[in-house]
Structure 1
Amino acid sequence: CQAVRATQGKGLMPDGTSRFSYQGQPIFHYMGTSTFSEYTVVPEISLAKIDDDAPLHEVCLLGCGVTTGIGAVHNTAKVKAGDTVAVFGLGGIGLAVIVGAKQAGAGRIIGVDINAGKFELARSLGATDVVNPKDHPGRSIQDVIVELTDGGVDFSFECIGNVDVMRSALECCHKGWGESVIIGVAGAGQEIRTRPFQLVTGRVWRGSAFGGVRGRTELPGMVKQAMSGELDLKPFITHTLPLERINEAFDLMHHGESIRTVIHF
């Protein structure tokens, strides 16, 4: 992401040009990929060579979300066997964090979301507990989790991009060693805040981009894991729709009724 960020935000290739046009008018690149198309042009540095036999309708999920969640567990937090983990937000990234935590042997994995419809899938992927903040009126979710875990979690992951939840995720961590990893991207200009005492007592705030995964060298290995069945991507794909119904996919996402929708042509 960082290697092409300077021009990506302008909708251009690294050389400052656009490779798309329609009726003589330039069309800008979107997020460095422009993937709502059958063919696209991307910077060479953004490409990773994967197995020719890989099922693209599944491994497309490794381009960001699933890789980000799993990588944040192994590379950023370095969760160990027996650790207690809290995951805030049970969308695609949060569920991937659960998968990664299970891979790491976490002893307790707590999923947190206000949409109880996501709990069954979260449990099937490895969550040992699920908590809905709406079930605890008048109490902060961090207090609920601290009580539930007898002191707080070893690691928490914020997978939403909500600055208030980022604070909750930090403050549910155990004093002395608890670490909170921010994965979700907040709105432009928003700021996070907490009382300094929360950090002075030993808690740590970290950030994670793409789960610390090296795309060109490590992503092909994750594709191999998916092809061998070691990493099951199917549970993340709740819907498959043709391109002409893409707006339905966005509606499903906004209403919290999907995890990942794969668009086909």
Structure 2
Amino acid sequence: MLTDKDLELSNIKGISEVFNQRIYKYVGYEDAIKYVLIDKNTLKFSSPNDFNDPFDCYEGFVNFSNVPPSATLDDTAKRLLDRSIVKEASSRTKQVLNDRRTRLNFFKEQKKDYRVSCFSKVYDEVLMWSHYANKHTGVCIGFEFPIEPLPKDFIVFPVVYKDSVQPFDVYANPFRIILHWIITKSHHWKYEKEVRAIIKNDSRKLLNDGNNYYYVIEKDWIKEIVFGCKVSDKVVEKTIKLIRKNGFKNILIKRMFINPDNFSLEENIIADIQNYKNKVK
């Protein structure tokens, strides 16, 4: 679990872009109903090992070349373990960091200890709908994470896109090293405008169903639901009724439509749920 000191350190450039700002999660319809909106009210967190980008959480983002040959766990690993997201060192982590020849495997090993939930700053990206919302038959859910009270188990940061691999020195700020490792991606993915929620997989609020991890969320974090352009009228109407019956309020409901003049999507507001009442515009 993150410490108060870690959360203080997290107040660097970028945090204002995501807290109290709306960010969006593209998801298939069935998963949205089952896991997020109706049945369980959770967010899915995945292992970086399951991501489709081979450079995701790439160990090359951290530079170990300046570590002196005489370095021990106390003066190298301690920087990464005591005041960082890593916090608690497993026996395998200590073994890796005590062996100079295998230190480069440290961050490769850390992929086993983290879970990430991915969002976007936009809800109208055609490729995102195609890749992550079941080919436009799913939904895009708008979240706002409050900076006060800040969720104590995870942090949220926008992804930083780079044109080249730029390693961060291991002797720099430990929080920044871990953060750099987790939120740096290639410029090829820039169109996603990604934002990441990051959590340790030992959080007490994480539910494990075998392969995936789910974090219980507050309903008032959900501010917007956007239906894909291929979702039927019947499904839209059914979902609005479910939302109205399940304790949500102050939610804007939209639907995407194909722009007939170019290769883009346009939105249309179809409902505004206020205080559990559905007001169709």
TM-score, length-scaled by structure 2:
0.22
TM-score by length of 1: 0.23
1 or 2 for the larger relative contact order (CA 8 Å, sep ≥6)?
Answer: 2
Larger radius of gyration between Structure 1 and Structure 2:
2
- Quick check: which one's strand share is greater? 2
Name whichever structure is richer in helix by fraction: 1
